[in-house]
């Protein structure tokens, strides 16, 4: 995302895609699915589906390869939650990441103000 930021946002701006993948699993009856199957049903690109599945171990677990095919399933804790609880959880995670992003931006802005204030008396 940003080259100098040492962290990656897993939920910020991606909640809708994660929920689409989650609902795909719910509609299929909580069976193990391959990312290609999910991509076809949701209309999201295969690469994005694979990234979201790997980046959100809170919701999706990678099953051991069987017949050389990697499949994913919803975690046990996520399957016991209702859809509304899952949406609230994902929105909470996204909000936390937004606050982290804003805090980082505020720190950069504060550093720039300090630099300007130290340079101005010398000019």
Give the CATH number for residue 63: 1.10.10.10
Higher pLDDT, 59 or 121: 59
| Share of the chain residues as helix, strand and coil, in percent rounded to the nearest 5 | 60, 5, 30
Q: How far apart are CA 33 and CA 71, in angstroms?
A: 5
For the chain, what is the domain count? 1
Three-state secondary-structure class, residue 4 = coil
Q: How far apart are CA 111 and CA 113, in angstroms?
A: 5
Query: Which segment of 9-18, 34-43, 63-72, 97-106 scores lowest on mean pLDDT?
Result: 63-72
The whole-number average pLDDT for the span 80-89 is: 93
Residue 117 lies in a domain: yes
Residue 8 lies in a domain: no
Residue 4 lies in a domain: no
42-83 residue pLDDT tens: 999 999 999 999 999 999 999 988 788 889 999 999 989 999
Residue 74 lies in a domain: yes
Residue 9 lies in a domain: no
pTM of the model: 0.83
**Tokens for 113?**
């103000």
Per the structure, the complete domain to which residue 36 belongs is given by: 15-122
pLDDT of 18 > 70? The answer is yes
Residue 83 lies in a domain: yes
The 10 Å Cβ neighbour count of residue 79 is: 13
């Amino acid at each position: 995302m940003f080259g100098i930021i040492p962290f990656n946002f897993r939920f910020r701006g991606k909640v809708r895609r994660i929920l689409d993948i989650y609902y795909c699993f719910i509609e299929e009856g909580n069976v193990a699915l391959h990312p290609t199957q999910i991509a076809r049903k949701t209309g999201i690109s295969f690469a994005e589906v694979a990234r979201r599945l790997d980046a959100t171990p809170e919701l999706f677990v990678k099953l051991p390869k069987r017949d050389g095919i990697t499949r994913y399933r919803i975690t046990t804790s996520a399957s016991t939650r209702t859809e509304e609880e899952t949406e609230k959880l994902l929105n909470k995670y996204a909000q936390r990441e937004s606050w982290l992003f804003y805090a980082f931006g505020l720190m950069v802005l504060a550093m720039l103000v300090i630099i300007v204030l130290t340079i101005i008396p010398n000019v």
